[in-house]
Amino acid sequence: MAGTVHVAPAGRHLIITPERAYGAITGERIHFTHSAADPLFLSAADVYGSRVVAVVLTGGDSDGAAGARAIGLAGAVVIAQDEASSQIFAMPKATIATGQVDAILPVAAIGPGLIRLIETGSLN
């Protein structure tokens, strides 16, 4: 639903269910955290395929990289924050290393890039 933000409950990972609903699952920490980006990205790739846009922002470890890779391989769009605007570049760096990133943007350019993608179908 437009204008809605979904936040995973404490100690759970946010996912997209096969019924195309948001869900929260229990489980071990992934990359030392709840809620990790990978379960959400992997489930989004499975459910929506090429109709997903993944944005990986500043953060530690390699969380998000496996899921972003799956999204890219599904033919969807992956955006990573650039090093200059990241406080901790580990997550975007690991995502970029997958070879599935369509754009590396400063944080201030990500919002306008998403709007351009919606309006024109292209990040350029």
One-letter identity of residue 117 = L
The answer as to whether 4 is a domain residue is no
> Coil, strand or helix: which one is 17?
coil
Q: Return the pLDDT at 8.
A: 78
In a domain, 44, yes or no: yes
* 3-state secondary structure at position 94: helix
- Residue 64: give the domain boundaries: 13-120
Tell how many helices (H) and how many strands (E) occur in the chain: 4, 5
The answer to whether position 22 is within a domain reads: yes
Where the chain has pLDDT below 70, the residues are 1, 29-35
Per the domain annotation, does 2 fall within a domain?
no
Express each pLDDT in 51-81 by its tens digit: 999 999 999 889 899 999 999 999 999 999 9
Residue 115: which CATH number?
Answer: 3.40.50.180
Give the helix/strand (H/E) hosting 105: strand 103-105
Domain count along the chain: 1
pLDDT score for 104: 98
Let me know if residue 7 belongs to a domain.
no
- The structure's pTM equals 0.89
